[in-house]
Amino acid sequence: MRHRNGGEHIYYLGLGLLWEKDTGKSRRNYSLVVRELGYMREHGMLPWWWITDGTRVVRQEAQYGSVEDALERLVEAYRRNLWASQSRRVEAWCESDSVAGVLLPVTSAWGVGLYSCRGQSSKTFVYEAVQEYARQDKALTVIFAGDWDPSGRSVPRSVAERMERYGEGGLDLDFQQIAVTAADVRSGQFATHDVNTADVNFKRYREECLREGIAPHTAVEVEALSPGLLRSRLSDAIEDLVDDVRQWNIQSRTEEAERELLRTLHRRVRELMLRTADERTAEGDEDE
């Protein structure tokens, strides 16, 4: 499986404008993009946070400097589950960590889970997901962003098939692909590349392309779509799934009221800790 990063997204957006597409086994222009991006970040010419690295995962229990510190973090992180008032559970899945970094601001704003498949999802990944859905006993919509190529098209197909099988037909699943779509490929607006006909998924890919009126030897990677376009599509798709707007607004107002309650609690605890510290200082002065 090929590693995907923010450099690849920049590379695709610059094709035909700043550099030509690499051909064959050459990675010359792509390597140039990665090298220059690294130079620009290290020399303060490009903010580090503009490019994300979803592979850096730290597994450690949350720790705090004090109760006040813990409350401050809670105020910042508190979110009410607004989707509990809706008829469906909603998740966003994408093919790579680089695309996950692009979509994260949208999923965070909407309170939707974001999952990076990193290529083909493992059987364990899908099985555990289905078990969690079964415990919640709620219909599910998965919004997916991935490549239009033999491997990319096999991801949503195999995930849907496995979910149906592992859920023994009891899972109400709606699988929506927002990118790359057949319409994107037909539009001719995005950079293409030749398909690997040796891919084990090519036969089914070819059949799908012919049904959609697309040349089977054409492929488009999701990084060819701009971050703004991907975020816009995802936000629109999520918003369309809010079927009880009245309850959503009620829960949103409740969330803000609860967050204000936490802010008040945080202020009171801080005042109490300052007063306690002053009293201990005074006691120490008296002992001297």
Helices and strands, counts by H and E, the chain:
10, 6
Confidence class of residue 3 from pLDDT cuts 50, 70 and 90?
very low
In this prediction, residue 52 carries a pLDDT of: 65
Does the pLDDT value for residue 173 go beyond 70? yes
120-123 long-range contacts, CB within 8 A, separation 24+: 120/1, 120/151, 120/154, 120/155, 120/158, 121/155, 121/158, 121/159, 121/162, 123/162
In this prediction, residue 285 carries a pLDDT of: 64
In this prediction, residue 120 carries a pLDDT of: 61
In this prediction, residue 259 carries a pLDDT of: 95
pLDDT tens column, 91-141: 999 988 889 989 999 999 999 999 888 766 677 778 888 888 888 889 999
Total residues belonging to the chain: 288
* CA–CA gap between residue 9 and residue 25 (Å, rounded): 19
Mean pLDDT of 234-239: 98
| Bond preceding residue 106 cis, omega within 30 of 0 | no
* Pair 153, 177: CB distance under 8 Å: no
Mean pLDDT of the chain: 87
In this prediction, residue 208 carries a pLDDT of: 95
Does the pLDDT value for residue 5 go beyond 60? no
0.85 surpassed by pTM: no
Both structure tokens of 34 = 């990665």
